[in-house]
Amino acid sequence: MIRVVFICTGNICRSPTAEGLLRYKGLKKGRDDLIVSSMGISGLENVPATPFAQTVCREHGFDISPHRSRPLMGEELRTADLILCMEPVHREFLKTFFPWDKDKIFLLGAWPEKETRKSPIQDPMGGPLEIYQRIYGIIETHIDRILPLL
């Protein structure tokens, strides 16, 4: 089994989208070896994904409405094989507070390649549906890129 954890700020937009998308695409490809989850560094707990995040995912064939935000869970991070963050601030936060996991913490937009100025994935929170759709497209591009590597 391969354990992948996605990290963003509140765990209500980007990381639940990435979690749902990797799970959905993995299952479509017959990948029953993936354990996928997500968390946020802000400590939000039990908050559903934003309505726009849910809408965009539903438009692409999968449902994240059951998702509820979770703060960082140290034990789950410890057992993860790969921790993929949306922005450098998330990665640096995790490397500071979970230094024993530093070798498996990366940006989704860069792993396993070299980081560039385009690697961070913008937070759509508070933006219109069009921003969520654009961010979804970026996340999907990265999920399609990394899924064969897992």
d(CA 47, CA 45): 6
Q: Of residues 8, 13, 57, 85, which has the active-site annotation?
A: 8
Is residue 123 annotated as a catalytic residue, yes or no?
A: yes
Range list of H helices, 29-128: 51-59, 74-79, 88-97
Q: Of residues 3, 31, 101, 123, which has the active-site annotation?
A: 123
Is residue 103 annotated as a catalytic residue, yes or no?
A: no
Burial class (CB in 10 A: 0-12, 13-18, 19+), 95: middle
- Give catalytic residues, as residue numbers: 8, 14, 123
